Amino acid sequence: MKIDMGMIGSSAAGCGPIAADAEARGFDGVWASESVTDAFLQSQAALLTTERVSVGTAIAVAFARNPMSVAYLSWDLAAMSGGRFVLGLGSQIQAHVERRFSMPWSSPAGRMRDFLLALDAIFTSWRDGTRLDYRGEHYQHTLMSPVFTPHHHTHRIPTMVAAVGAKMTELGAELCDGLLLHGMTTTAYLDQVTLPAVERGLAASGRDRDALELYVPLFLVMGDTEEQIAETTRKTREQIAFYASTPAYAKVLASIGYENLQLELQTLSRAGKWAEMGDLIDDRILGEIALVGTPEEMPALCRNRFGGRVDRVSSYFGWPVEDPDRLRDILAAFAEPATREVAR
């Protein structure tokens, strides 16, 4: 199991030093999120200050852009990094695509399929020198003259897509190199929804499970003292409640028998009662979604719950470990084989 650093920053200016530090501390990869700045700018800053780690977007909003603009950015980042860039795309939700980005919205899985196929056609044209002639339902790319063709390179650009529901998961498993799963998940949901959809997508593409990499930013509730764990527990309950109030995660709650909680949380969120929402995340929900323990226990806890299910993970709230040698040892333990479950 690989261990990454997620959400390397909200500013492109600050991402470089953070990524360099992550590489020095032993992380396998870093991920640039997209909230208040561009994920591609963050990725460039991270790639310029690192030499070993993979750097990916988790996520770049696909439908706020078009396949050609994403292709140019990704091609250049792959070239400058020697192939360390990973393109992670997400659909976002309808309100943001239409009202924040003023872009068209349609069935997200269908539009994402078209987007990914268009990207592949563009990359193939640049790589092989073939005529660009992609004609899809939402995207058409039929013009590529030599003056606008970027410098040739042979680096692969792995693509990953963010997925919660079965349709997007199946699509990503069929067309992509990996899936960006959400920390708001349970092993029951993984086993009942996510992994069967992965198998269907892989079967459609004629590939084996080894061809696909599954990444998830986990809620790791950790600390060296009861006080530290209590504080992280509070933040985690509130964050889970925020996600659980969204209809997209209703089936995740249903997988552990909390079918009615989503509507209750949604009602509180619309009333602005944010403080009360976290109180509804009881110990059972917390235990199904989060892992609780000391930092040293986290590698074994992650392997024993998610080993064989996902391939790489990160900690949603980071690591409360300041000693670099201590953290390096903890991170190295993620590569060890699963042995026994850590009891608490």
Q: Which domain CATH number covers 163?
A: 3.20.20.30
pLDDT of residue 275: 82
pLDDT of residue 340: 39
Here the tokens at position 13 are 């200016």
pLDDT of residue 261: 97
Residue bearing tokens 């390096």? 328
**CA quadruple 313, 233, 185, 283: dihedral sign:** positive
My answer on whether 169 and 247 are in the same domain is: no
My answer on whether 162 and 21 are in the same domain is: yes
Yes or no: say if 10 and 315 are a contact pair by the CB < 8 Å rule: no
Collapsed DSSP state (helix, strand, coil) of residue 224: coil
Residue bearing tokens 């020095």? 24
Which distant-in-sequence residues (6+ apart) come within 8 Å of 172 by Cβ? 160, 161, 163, 178, 179, 201
Yes or no: say if 158 and 187 are a contact pair by the CB < 8 Å rule: no
My answer on whether 210 and 257 are in the same domain is: no
Collapsed DSSP state (helix, strand, coil) of residue 324: helix
**Whole-number Å distance between alpha carbons of 111 and 98:** 14
My answer on whether 190 and 63 are in the same domain is: yes
pLDDT of residue 98: 97
My answer on whether 234 and 123 are in the same domain is: no
My answer on whether 230 and 214 are in the same domain is: no
**CA quadruple 14, 274, 217, 166: dihedral sign:** negative
Q: Which residues of the chain have pLDDT under 50?
A: 339-344
8-state DSSP, 281: S
**Whole-number Å distance between alpha carbons of 25 and 324:** 6
8-state DSSP, 209: G
Which distant-in-sequence residues (6+ apart) come within 8 Å of 261 by Cβ? 244, 253, 280, 285
**Whole-number Å distance between alpha carbons of 103 and 139:** 13
8-state DSSP, 87: E
My answer on whether 19 and 104 are in the same domain is: yes
| Bridge partners, residue 310, by sequence | 307
Q: Within a 10 A sphere around the Cβ of 232, how many other Cβ atoms?
A: 20
My answer on whether 164 and 212 are in the same domain is: yes
pLDDT of residue 296: 97
**Whole-number Å distance between alpha carbons of 64 and 61:** 6
**Whole-number Å distance between alpha carbons of 143 and 140:** 9
Here the tokens at position 176 are 């992509």
Residue 36 in any domain: the answer is yes
Yes or no: say if 91 and 98 are a contact pair by the CB < 8 Å rule: no
pTM of the model: 0.94
Q: How many domains is the chain built from?
A: 2
Residue 340 in any domain: the answer is no
| Full residue range of the structural domain in which residue 189 is found | 2-219+302-325
- Tell me the Ramachandran region of residue 225: left when phi exceeds 0, alpha when psi lies from -120 to 50, beta otherwise: beta
**Whole-number Å distance between alpha carbons of 221 and 287:** 10
Q: Which of 307, 289, 305 is nearest to 214 (CA)?
A: 307
**Whole-number Å distance between alpha carbons of 57 and 50:** 16
For the chain, how many residues are written?
344
pLDDT of residue 344: 37
Residue 261 in any domain: the answer is yes
My answer on whether 56 and 135 are in the same domain is: yes
**Helix, strand, coil in percent for the chain, rounding step 5:** 50, 15, 35
My answer on whether 202 and 263 are in the same domain is: no
